[in-house]
A and B are shown apart, each in its own frame.
Chain A
Amino acid sequence: MSHIRPALRTSLVHCLALFVVLALPAQRLAAQDLDDAEKKEAAIVIARADSARATLVQPPGSKGLTPATLVRAPFRAVGAGLALVAGAGYGVYRVLDKTGTIRFVKQTNRDLRANDIRVRLKTIGSRSGLALLGRWDGARPFFVEGGISMGSYSLARAGLAFGDTLNGVELAAGLRRQAQLHFWGIGNDSREEDVSDYEHAMREAAVRGHVRVLPHVRVGGGAGWEADRADRGNDAMAPDVQDVFAGALPFGAVGTHRFMRADANLDLDFTSVGGPFQLRGVRLVTDWSGFRGVDESDPDFQIASTDLRVYLPLNSRHAFALRGYAADAFGESNGDVPIYYLATAGGSEGLRGQKGYRLRDRAALIGMAEWRYQVWWHPGDPIYRVDAFAFVDHGAVGSSLGSIESTDFLTTPGIGIRFVSHGLTQVETFLAFGGDATPRIGFKLGASF
C-alpha cells in the first residue's frame, strides 16, 4: 500500500547515482589488505568517486549557527566543565591503571584477604580525614588491628574476640590518638571565633560483651582501665585550647587522667527494612558509663545518654523520621567531667546547621525531625535509589538537663539528599541553615540517623 507518491525525478537521480557507483570497480578498499599496486588503483578509484561527488548538486547539508545552538551553548559549557573535571579524574585513573598500580592494589588486597587481613578506608574520629585501617584475624580468637589517617590520627589494638555481632565478648588493649579535635568553649554561648584544638590520646585495657536476650533486645556491658592524655593539637589553622582558654582552661584539657571504668548498654531495636526497601519502626539505645579515678588527682563521674529513633513511612515513597537525644553527667567528685567526655551538639549527630562538636557541656538535649521522600528510583530495580529529606534540628547544651531553658535552643533547618542501597543510606549530603556559617554543607558516609 503506497500512499507516498514516488517522485519521478527522485527516481531518475537515484538511477544516475547508482550508475556512478556501479561504474566504479566493485572492490574492497580496506587499506590493510592491499599491496602497493592495489593501493594506487584504489586511490584512483577514490579520486573518481571524489570527482563524481563534487558534481552532485544537493540541498544545504548544514544550518550553521542557529538560535537553538546558542540556547544549548551554556548548558554544553557546563557539561564541558564537568567533563574536564571528570577527565582529570579519569586521567589519574588511567595513569594508575597504566602503571599497574590498580592491579597491584587489587592483587595486594586479595593476598591480604587470603592471609586473613582486612584493609578498609574509614575514619578514626572527628576531623581524622580518611584513614587506612587493617585487621588481622589469622589466629582466631586473637586479633590485631591498626590504622593511620590523613589527619595524623592513629589506632592500635589487639586482643581476643569471641562470638559475633549479636552475641560476643572482646578482651582487648589498645591506643587511639586523635590529633586535632576542635573546641569552642563550654555552653550555648560559646563563640565561633574561639575555635581551638587539642589532642586526645586514650590507652585502654577492657573487656566488653553483648548478648541478644530477646529478638529485639540486646544488652551489653564491660569494664576496664584507661588513661586519657590531652595535649596541644596539630591543626595549623586553629590555635590551641591551652592558648585560647588559658584563663579558664576546661578540666582535662591538659595532662593525663587514669580511670577504672564500667559500661552498660541497652538496645531495643524494633526497626526493619520492608516493603520497597523502607526503614520503619522504633529504636531506643541507652548507654551508661561510670568512671573512678585511679590517682588522687583523677575525678570520679558518670555519664549517660539515651537515643530514641522513630521511622514512620506514610506510603511507599514518603516517611517521617524523628530522633530525640539526651545526655547528662552526674556523680562527679574530686574534679569535673573531662573535656573529652562532655556531651556535644552539632554536625550530623544532631544540630546539622552547626559544625560537629560545636557545642559542649555536661548535658545535651537534641530533637531531629525529617520528612523523607524518594526523588529517584526505578520500580523495576528498587534496590538503589536517591532520597531527599527536609529537616529541622533543635538542640541545646547545658550544665544539666534540668538547667536547659527553652530559650537556649538553636534551630537549624535544611534539606539534603541520600543515596540509599537496600533501604540503608550509604552516603548523604545536606545544606543546613541557622548555624554559625549559613548555609552549611554537610557530607556523611551513612545516615545522620
Chain B
Amino acid sequence: MRPRGGGSWIIAWAVAALVAGIALTGCAARSFDPLPLRPEPIAYADTLLIPEPEERAERRKLRALLVHGPLQLAEPFDPGEGESLNLTHDDDVVSSAWWERRVGYRRITPEDLALGPTSAENAPATSGPLEIKSVKTDGVTPGFTMKDANGHTYIVKFDPPGLMHLTSAAGVIGNRLMWGMGFHVPEDYVTEFDFSRLVVDEDATIEELGVERPLTIEDLRTLLERTEPIEGERYLAFASLYLPGVPKGPFFFEGRRDDDPNDYFDHQHRRELRALWVFSSWINDTDMREGNTLDVYVKPGYLRHYLIDFGATMGSSSTRSKHRKDETERPIDLYRFIGRIATLGLYKQPWEDHPVEPLGPALGFMYGEGFDPDSWKSSWTNPAFQDMTDADSYWAAKILAAFTDEQIRGAVGAGGFSDHRSADTLTALLRLRRDRIVEYYYERVSTVEEPIVARQHAGSLQLSFKDLGIDQHVWTPGETTYDWRFRDPARRLGGSGSAQPRSMPEQMLDVSWTGSGGNGGGSDQLATLEITTRRPGFSPDPATVFLRWEGEGYRVVGIAHGDARK
C-alpha cells in the first residue's frame, strides 16, 4: 500500500533529480578554451567533395511533435546552449556552404542587390512558348512548373485575387535581401506572360476527384481564374528557377546530417542559423522553417544549403495579408493558449485590441513604428533561434546596419510594384525596422570592434578601437562612458577605470595596471580587457578583448561580445 502523499513525494524526487541532473551536467558539460585559443573555422571547408547523399523528407508533423512542440514548452525554463561554435577569433563567421560574406564585408551596389543571385540570361524568356510540366491544384492560389523557350524550368506562383504584387513582390524582395544578408537563395523573378504563350506538356497530368488525367489548356484557364490578370489574359507571376543540382530535402536547425561528411558544426551552434532569427525579423519572414530550406547536391559534388520561398515575408502571408498577430504570436502558442484558458480569457496581447489595417493590397501588413524586435516571433519554434546569444544577434545587427537606404531601395525595386507609393512605403518600413533592430541588439552588448594596441609603456597601454554604437550614430559620445577592467592572471596584474569617448570614429582607451609583473604567461595564458560601453539607462555585458603577452608587450589576439552563456 502506497503511503499517503506518495504522489507529491514522487514529484519532489523528480524535481530534485532534475535539479541535480542539471547541476551535474553543468559540471560535466564540455568547457571550451577562450576563443583565441581555439582553432578557427576554415572558410568553405564544407565544400569538399562527398558521395551523393540520399534525399530526405521534412516530416513536418513528426517534427512538430518531436521538436517544435517540446522546445516551445521548454522555452520558459531553457537556459540555452550558450555561445556559437563556428566563430573566428574576431567573433565573426567565415563563408561556407551555408552562408557567404556579402553586405557588410564587400562592396555591393544597390544594383547588385536588385539582381541578387539572378542574371538576365536566366530570367524567364519574354517570348516563345511556356511549356507547363505540372500544376498545383490545391490551395488558394494556382501554381505551375514551367519550361521556357531557353530551356529553363521554373516553379511559378501567383498572387491571391485582389492582392496583386502581395506575394510575388514579397517573394522577390525577401529573396534579394536574404541574399544580401549572406544566405544561399534560388534565382527568383517577377515575370509577366500572355495566356496565349502557354502550352501543355504531353506528359502533364491533373488529378480530379482522385483520378489522374491528361492536363488540358482549359484546365490552365480554370486554374488561372484563382488569380487576377493584369489585363485581359496577361498575368503577373513569381518564377523561381530550378536550383542547379540535385535536391536532397530540407536541412534541420539542430544536429548534423549523417550522410554529409562536410557537416561539421551542430546546426544549432552555427551562428548564421541562430542569427537567422534577426534576419527573418527584419523582413518579417514568419514562415522560416525546415520546409523552406533545401540541401542541394551541387557541382563538383557537395551539399549547398539554401533558404527558399520568401512568399510569406514582409506584409504577405502567401494567400492573404498578414495580421498584427502573425509576427507577435505563433499560430499555436501553447503558453498563451493555456494562459487564456487559466485566466478565463482576461489575459490578452496588444494585437487583440487593434483591427488590422493593411498598408495596401500590394503590401499587406507589417509593423513599422510598432515593430518590437524583442517580441517578434516566427511561426515555428526553432532550435537554432532558441540558442541565439546576444553575441549572435549583435553579429546579425552589424550586417543589417551595413545595409544602406539605397541598397534597400534597390532590393525593393526588384519586387516589380506597379506604383511608386508601395515601393516607397515598403522601403521606409524596412529602414525603420532595420534601425529598430540595430538599436535593440546594440543595446545588449558593448559595441567594441577592431581593437588594436596603439601604444604601450611599462604599466600601461593605449587601446584603439571602434565603438559601433557611436560610429553608426545610435548614441552620441556624450551619452557614453567606458568602464574597463584589465586582468592578467599569469603575470598577476590588474586594473580598472572609466573613460569618456572621443568625438571621432577611432576611440582611444588608456589602460593601466598594478601588480607583481614578470614575464609569466605563454600561448595558453591570455590577459583580458573587459570594456563596457555604458549608455543612458543601461549597462550591457562587456566586450572582452584578449591580449597575449609577447615578452615586450601585449598584442590583441581576439575579441568576444557579451556573456557566452546568454
Q: Which residues of A contact B (CB under 8 A)?
A: 1-7, 9-11, 13-14, 16-18, 20-21, 24-31, 42, 45-46, 48-50, 52-53, 56-72, 74-76, 78-80, 82-83, 86-87, 103, 106-107, 110, 317-318, 371, 373-376, 378-381, 386, 388, 390, 415, 417
Contacts and interface: CB of A to CB of B under 8 A. Distances in A.
B162 interface: no
Given A16-B42, A376-B337, A380-B317, A28 B300 contact: yes
Nearest to A372: B345
Given A1-B402, A26-B299, A380-B325, 19 more contacts: A2-B106, A10-B43, A10-B88, A14-B42, A17-B44, A17-B45, A29-B52, A29-B301, A42-B51, A56-B45, A58-B41, A59-B86, A74-B18, A87-B62, A110-B209, A373-B345, A375-B340, A378-B323, A380-B323
Interface stretch (B32-40, B231-239, B276-284, B418-426): B32-40
A75 B69 CA distance: 8
B261 interface: yes
Interface in B22-79: 22, 25-26, 28-30, 32, 38-45, 47-52, 61-62, 65-67, 69-71, 73-74, 77-79
B300 A63 contact: no
Interface stretch (B213-221, B262-270, B486-494): B262-270
B326 A380 contact: yes
Contacts of A86: 61-62, 65
B269 A63 contact: yes
A18 B47 CA distance: 8
A65 B29 contact: yes
A71 to B, nearest CB: 5
Given A69-B25, A375-B345, A24 B210 contact: no
B74 A63 contact: no
B151 interface: no
B104 interface: yes
Contact of B105 (A4, A29, A64, A107): A4
Contact of A7 (B38, B89, B471): B89
Nearest to A388: B341
A46 B352 contact: no
Given A61-B264, A63-B82, A72 B38 contact: no
B88 to A, nearest CB: 5
B257 interface: no
Contacts of A52: 48
Nearest to B343: A373
A70 B48 contact: no
Given A49-B49, A74-B18, A75-B73, A417 B38 contact: no
B92 A64 contact: no
B468 interface: yes
A59 B87 contact: yes
Contacts of A11: 43
18 contacts: A3-B471, A5-B449, A7-B89, A10-B92, A18-B43, A24-B48, A31-B51, A50-B261, A60-B30, A63-B266, A75-B69, A86-B61, A87-B62, A376-B340, A380-B320, A380-B321, A388-B340, A388-B341
Interface residues of B, number: 98
A120 to B, nearest CB: 20
A61 B85 CA distance: 6
Contacts of A415: 341
Nearest to A319: B345
Given A60-B38, A388-B340, A46 B49 contact: yes
Interface in B474-511: none
**Residue among A29, A52, A79, A103 facing the most chain B CB atoms (10 A cut-off):** A79
Given A45-B49, A375-B341, A68 B81 contact: yes
B140 to A, nearest CB: 11
A59 to B, nearest CB: 4
B461 interface: no
A149 B30 CA distance: 61
B320 A381 contact: yes
A68 B404 contact: no
Chain B contact residues, majority secondary structure: loop
Contacts of A390: 344
Contacts of A75: 69-71, 73-74
A6 B73 contact: no
B402 A24 contact: no
Contacts of A76: 66-67, 70
A7 to B, nearest CB: 5
Contacts of B401: 3
A26 B300 contact: yes
B104 A3 contact: yes
A59 B66 contact: no
A10 B94 contact: yes
Nearest to B30: A64
A72 B383 CA distance: 11
A68 B78 contact: yes
A59 B49 contact: no
Nearest to B73: A75
A60 B85 contact: yes
Interface in B339-358: 340-341, 344-345, 348, 352, 355-356
Q: Which 10 A-B pairs have the closest CB atoms?
A: A373-B345, A14-B43, A29-B301, A75-B70, A26-B300, A49-B49, A79-B70, A375-B340, A380-B323, A83-B65
Nearest to B51: A46
Interface in B354-371: 355-356
A24 B321 CA distance: 49
A79 B66 contact: yes
Contact of B22 (A13, A31, A70): A70
Contacts of B337: 375-376, 386
B443 interface: no
B402 A371 contact: no
A323 B398 CA distance: 61
Contact of A72 (B29, B78, B269, B299): B78
B90 interface: yes
Nearest to A90: B61
A30 B297 contact: yes
A17 B49 CA distance: 12
Contacts of B66: 76, 79-80, 83
Interface string B248-278: 0000000010000110111001000000000
B95 interface: yes
B10 to A, nearest CB: 14
Given A3-B104, A53-B48, A417-B341, A63 B81 contact: yes
B85 A63 contact: yes
Contact of A29 (B28, B85, B89, B300): B300
Contact of A65 (B18, B28, B78): B28
B128 interface: no
A317 B345 CA distance: 8
Contacts of A24: 48-49, 300
A56 B261 CA distance: 13
Contacts of B209: 110
A378 B43 contact: no
A403 B549 CA distance: 98
A391 B340 CA distance: 16
A386 B333 CA distance: 13
Given A52-B48, A71-B22, A9 B40 contact: yes
A2 B341 contact: no
B387 interface: yes
A324 to B, nearest CB: 23
Contact of A3 (B78, B326, B449): B449
B459 interface: no
A363 to B, nearest CB: 33
B507 to A, nearest CB: 13
A360 to B, nearest CB: 33
